[in-house]
């Protein structure tokens, strides 16, 4: 079983760098064959640019502030997908992404079941995605902005940075680094669930198949939940 650890981080420092990815150079034919197979099975997949990380280093400042320093580089989605599906053959690279952990006033967290067009169709995650060019400003990667953008796109729920809880809970699982931002939402789970379903129904090609509210530990046995999600949720659920 892959070890999962969680760090409390005060601030993220994320930048874009140039990186010569050995996996991309060494597995070109395998990547193309894999992409052709995945594309045939799911024509909705798009080989657009995404950001992976070649460095993710926690650092403690003299002030006591805990920082996660991340260097991102841009690759085609087909390259990322092959690296992931081949079992992360290059252990010097990470899939680092931000997720909105939206918690309702009655203690439930909003997750989404990934829709059939998604590369992880059927799994349960917070509404989020791998960062891309739209999250880059002046060479810096804005993961706060990624949280806001992905949540709005997938659920129709709009938040502002002023609504964020301080800091990040960062979950490390193998080559995945999930930067969780807790958002306290002043409405009950039933209202949030209904709002998300209305949004999904209004979309021609929704990213989510459905919303999914989690408020009990027994729900964490659902096999659709990845290990990093259960590790994050378990200590935060009250029952």
Q: Is the dihedral of CA 159, 163, 140, 125 positive or negative?
A: negative
Within the chain, residue ranges assigned H as helices are 22-26, 28-41, 77-85, 143-155, 189-202, 227-233
Return the pLDDT at 213.
Answer: 98
Q: Using one digit for the tens of pLDDT, what is the confidence trace for 87-130?
A: 999 999 999 999 999 999 999 999 999 998 888 889 999 999 99
Number of domains in the chain: 1
Q: Looking at the chain, which runs of residues are DSSP E strands? A: 4-9, 11-16, 49-60, 66-76, 95-104, 109-114, 124-125, 136-137, 140-141, 168-173, 176-185, 208-214
Domain CATH for 146: 3.90.79.10
Q: Using one digit for the tens of pLDDT, what is the confidence trace for 154-166?
A: 999 999 988 899 9
Q: What is the mean pLDDT of residues 136-162?
A: 95
Give the SS3 label for residue 196.
helix
Residue linked to tokens 């003299």: 62
Q: Is the pLDDT of residue 1 over 80?
A: no
Distance CA 186, CA 112 (A): 19
Q: Using one digit for the tens of pLDDT, what is the confidence trace for 30-88?
A: 999 999 999 999 999 999 999 999 999 999 999 999 999 999 999 999 999 999 999 99
Range of the domain at 51: 4-236
Q: What is the mean pLDDT of residues 200-218?
A: 95
Q: What is the mean pLDDT of residues 143-156?
A: 96
Distance CA 129, CA 175 (A): 15
Give Cα separations from 30 to 40, 77, 78, 175, 231 (angstroms): 15, 14, 11, 20, 33
Residue 2: pLDDT band (50, 70, 90) is confident
Give Cα separations from 71 to 102, 112, 140, 157 (angstroms): 27, 28, 9, 29
Return the pLDDT at 238.
Answer: 82
> Shortest CA distance to 109 belongs to which of 48, 66, 169?
169
């Amino acid at each position: 079983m892959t070890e999962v650890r969680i760090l409390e981080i005060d601030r993220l420092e994320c930048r874009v760098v140039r990186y010569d990815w050995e996996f991309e150079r060494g597995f070109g034919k395998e990547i193309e064959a894999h992409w052709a197979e995945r594309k045939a099975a799911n024509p909705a997949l798009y080989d657009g640019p995404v950001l992976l990380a070649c460095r993710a280093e926690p650092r403690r400042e003299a002030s006591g502030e805990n920082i996660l320093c991340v260097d991102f580089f841009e690759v085609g989605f087909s390259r990322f997908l092959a690296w992931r599906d081949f079992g992360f053959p290059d252990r010097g690279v990470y899939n680092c992404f931000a997720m909105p952990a939206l918690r309702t006033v009655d203690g439930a967290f909003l997750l989404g079941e990934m829709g059939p067009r998604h590369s992880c169709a059927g799994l349960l995650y917070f509404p989020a995605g791998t960062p891309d060019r739209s999250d880059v400003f002046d060479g810096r990667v804005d993961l706060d902005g990624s949280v806001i953008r992905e949540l709005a796109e997938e659920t129709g729920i709009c938040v502002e940075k002023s609504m964020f809880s301080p800091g990040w809970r960062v979950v490390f699982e193998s080559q995945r680094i999930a930067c969780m931002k807790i958002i306290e939402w002043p409405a009950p789970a039933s209202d949030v669930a209904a709002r998300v379903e209305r949004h999904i129904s209004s979309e021609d090609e929704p990213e989510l198949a459905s919303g999914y509210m989690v408020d009990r530990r027994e729900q964490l046995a659902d096999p659709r939940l990845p290990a990093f999600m259960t590790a994050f949720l378990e200590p935060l659920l009250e029952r």
